[in-house]
Structure 1
Amino acid sequence: MLRHQSIIVRTWLIALFGALVLAVLLSGCRLREPGQEDLVIPELVRTHLYVAPSGSDSNPGTRDEPFRTLTRAAQAVTPGTTVHVAPGTYFGGVRTATHGTAEARIVFESTERGGARLVPPLDSRQPAAWDNRANYLDIVGFEVDGGQYQSGMKWLSGIYNGGSHNGIHHNHIHHIGNDVPCEAKGGAGIGIDSYYKGNDAEVAGNHVHDIGPPECRYMHGIYVSTTASVRDNIIYRASGAGIHLWHDASHVTIRGNTVAACGTGIVVGGGDFYHSKGPNDHTHTMNNIVYDNGHGILEQGAIGANISYRNNLVFQNAGGDWKLAAGRQHSGTVSAQPLFADYGRTVAAPDFRLQPGSPAIGKGIPADAKDGIAMRPRRETDIGAVPYTESEPAGVPSPGVH
């Protein structure tokens, strides 16, 4: 009898201990409301690292003791890390390879829009200012200036992305590859590549200009060879295409961009496939201004049936505004001067704001829930990267949100 009671007590103690352990494990977690399916959601603990011109790579990377280089920060990040980069000049040739997750993205951000500036190092060893192979990573608000080349390897790309589920947002990328040989391997201000099986990138709100040597059709403003969203970017003076789709590009949204003074405005194409069998299909091009380029919007290679071109302003492109596959139609096209505030092919910093009376005002297709694009409350949707406002601050505007 005593032995039986001892077994009962021991069993009760084991159960009590298990309950206490479970309570400890669940502390810091959140359960759904009563009546819903029970689901344990771990809390996300974000970490923060800091980089500043006054820092040192022997520092711990805290706010008070920041790192000096982006390369050191790239070595220290883990999922959920935000790297805050103070205004100043930094050497490019950065490589990022540590993956974030869907719930814990890694973010590199300039604390002041355009304040953190990447330039070529004294002895450049990389063909890109920033080479990212990681997934779930965002690069936000940097200036990439390739115009101060010193020695070594010349940059062919500003930001090259070979990873998946990444964001390239609000960067200013300029003077990349202006004096390199024009070769078929090419380059771009921003390159979104499928070669390493990357997919699902968002390229939004960037300012990209002066890319490639004169009349080189292999150097582009924004180059995409996978699934992506390309929206609200300003691109001008790219020797190839302002926006070029090739290789495994498909299911791409090209929305609300302004492209001017490039070899070609927008190329929608597919071919020389890396991992898919093509074609480029379900790609939709809308609300873009394509003005004063060598060619306007054209298709190349393997193109599917589910391609659309809606409500674009396409005008004064020397070699023709459109070159689409037989039977393909575009709709809602505006064929007129966009009436920019200050534009010319040789103007150092064109002002792409729309003047009163611009035919691009209010002629765009409103974003809907399927686009996944947040809109500012507006009565109308404008065509192009810079929404019309009656009172805009002076200076070169940032691309808007469409």
Structure 2
Amino acid sequence: MKKQASFSPALRINALLCCSAAVLLSACGGNADLGAAAGSQTAAAITSSVDAATGSAVEPNATDAAASQASSAPANFAMQGYDAQPASNQPRLLASITSSATTGTPTQQVTELYRTVLKREPDSGGLAYWSNLVASGVPLSFVESEFKATQEYANLQAATGTVTIAATTTPATTYNYYVSPTGSDTAAGTKAAPFKTLARAAKAATKASTTVWVAPGTYAGGIKTTANGTASGRIYWVSTTKWGAKIVPPSSSSNNNAWDNRGNYVSIIGFDVDGTNSGSGTKWTHGIYTGGSYGMIQDNHIHHVAQSVACTSAGGSAIGVDSYYHGVKTDVVSNVVNDIGPAGCTYVQGIYVSTSGTIKNNLVYRVGAVGIHLWHDATDVIITNNTVTSSNFGMVVGGGNFYYTSAGANNVYVANNIIYDNKYGISEQGTTGKNNKYVNNLVFQNPSYNFSLRNGLKDTGTISSNPLFKAYSKTAATPDFHLTSSSPAIGRGTATNAYPTDLDGKPRNASTGYDIGAYQH
């Protein structure tokens, strides 16, 4: 096997470098040090017959992005388009609480939730259980989200013929700033006098327990956020209408990314990152990148990024989660990623993770290189209920070109994923451990191979059948990846590490069954 060239982190390339996954079999070794010193980095070799590649990238500009394009969209800060999200170990969008349920004793608050959410009086056992939790400090928003994840709530919606899209909110924060395309960067950043650009809001949102509310409209990307939240006071960036706040390349771009986040405890929720129309200057090769710890990238749509760039080992990715700044435990949840990288180029990745965390409920399709890719220091990653199609590799699990460890990708749990109609299916590459598990995945029609595992590992519970999507096409602008009633993915998943809702917000539980893929039938 050809020896990999070693490198110093000091010489690390300043971009999420994703190396060739093809020709064939070279996966990405890239990362995103969008930091101060440019350099170079070797790529990971997927097989012993491929030499390491190198690349370089451009340092992002830390100054403000250009002013956003003019928009006639009104400043609308009412939350719209989100399904109620269940609480988890990381904060995320939570269901709204009716004002009448936020006052009074814990028993009174829970009683009001039973009446407003489940439309009935509480039973004595349930009331005692949930009241005790609220009294002990559990947020009321968690209780409501749990109610809305029950079969009782789903049956209620079905019986009334309604589909509720809850007005959602984040936990209350100490500081709040507002951004609107009709605002002004000389304004105060209040709801009545919002900022105009994301870059201006980034200068203001410097403290823990802050929410930046972004109204629908078009905004220039190329921003950098560096402020840290805390475990008890995160920093939230929220598009008030899901995918309503659209981030696009500025007319003249000085860096190669839409959003470069370095802060810890930062949530980026609900944005549309659209790289379709590049202006002059540096073209984007990266969508949302985070080098911080305990991040959340959720409910975003990242698409048409890096499609017109040169196909080089400088690479890129739609979502990049990096270990170079010692980042750990970021969650990538319920995003849609599509049309990433130039056609036929195998250097640009979909979701690229080089540390610990989770990758759940994402839909990924038409990616030039790998739909979901672990590399560098990636370990202890849970990858469940994703759908990946129409890409070169469906999934690569591996480690190499290490920053701080040489242990490789270990304790990786891969379950309930649909990996369908890619050139390659699920592949372990580089250095991997013996504790990885591949359970109850649907892996089919990946002609080079469906599985290529190491260390004697075997997949279990695999379904080798067409998933029977409602309207699948490799080339259609918006294929429908929902499951038909005949899909073999229905009820064949495992409850272990499954996300409690699907990409649409529909509940997954023992009553509804645990389907495979991003969508529950």
Question: Normalized against structure 1, the TM-score is what?
Answer: 0.83
Q: Which residue of 2 aligns with 1:383?
A: 516
Instruction: Give, in whole Å, the separation in 2 of the partners of 1:111 and 1:280.
Output: 37
Give the alignment of 1:1-400 within 5 angstroms: 46-77=174-205, 78-367=207-496, 371=497, 373-375=499-501, 376=507, 378=509, 379=511, 380-388=513-521
Which portions of structure 1, spanning 4 or more consecutive aligned residues, are displaced by more than 6 angstroms? none
Instruction: Give, in whole Å, the separation in 1 of the partners of 2:340 and 2:260.
Output: 17
Matched letter for residue 59 of structure 1: A
Per-residue deviation, residues 129-151 of structure 1 (Å, max 9, x unmatched): 00000000000000000001011
Of 342-351 and 211-220, the range deviating more from structure 2:
211-220
Deviation at 1:277, TM superposition (A): 2.0
Deviation at 1:373, TM superposition (A): 4.4
Q: Which residue of 2 aligns with 1:393?
A: none
5+ long unaligned stretches in structure 1 = 1-43, 389-402
More strand by share: 1
Relative to 1, partners in 2 of residues 1:213 and 1:55: Cα closer, same or farther, differing over 3 Å? same
Cα RMSD between the aligned structures? 1.2
Q: Which residue of 2 aligns with 1:31?
A: none
Tell me the SS of whatever aligns to 1:276. coil
Aligned residues of 1:221 and 1:240 also touching (Cα < 8 A)? yes
Instruction: Give, in whole Å, the separation in 2 of the partners of 1:192 and 1:280.
Output: 15
Aligned residues of 2:384 and 2:498 also touching (Cα < 8 A)? no
Deviation at 1:374, TM superposition (A): 3.8
Instruction: Give, in whole Å, the separation in 2 of the partners of 1:219 and 1:372.
Output: 28
Matched letter for residue 382 of structure 1: D
Matched letter for residue 303 of structure 1: T
Instruction: Give, in whole Å, the separation in 2 of the partners of 1:101 and 1:45.
Output: 12
Deviation at 1:318, TM superposition (A): 1.9
Tell me the SS of whatever aligns to 2:202. helix
Aligned residues of 1:271 and 1:278 also touching (Cα < 8 A)? no
Q: Aligned residues, how many? A: 342
Could you tell me the percent identity over the aligned residues?
Answer: 49
5+ long unaligned stretches in structure 2 = 1-171, 502-506
Matched letter for residue 352 of structure 2: Y
Of 240-249 and 271-280, the range deviating more from structure 2:
271-280
Per-residue deviation, residues 277-335 of structure 1 (Å, max 9, x unmatched): 22211001000000000100001011011000000000001211111115210000000
Matched letter for residue 220 of structure 2: F
Per-residue deviation, residues 158-207 of structure 1 (Å, max 9, x unmatched): 10111111000000000000011222231100001111221110000000
Per-residue deviation, residues 222-278 of structure 1 (Å, max 9, x unmatched): 000000100000000000000000000000011000000011000001011011122
Instruction: Give, in whole Å, the separation in 2 of the partners of 1:113 and 1:69.
Output: 18
Matched letter for residue 101 of structure 1: T
Per-residue deviation, residues 196-223 of structure 1 (Å, max 9, x unmatched): 2211100000000000012222111100
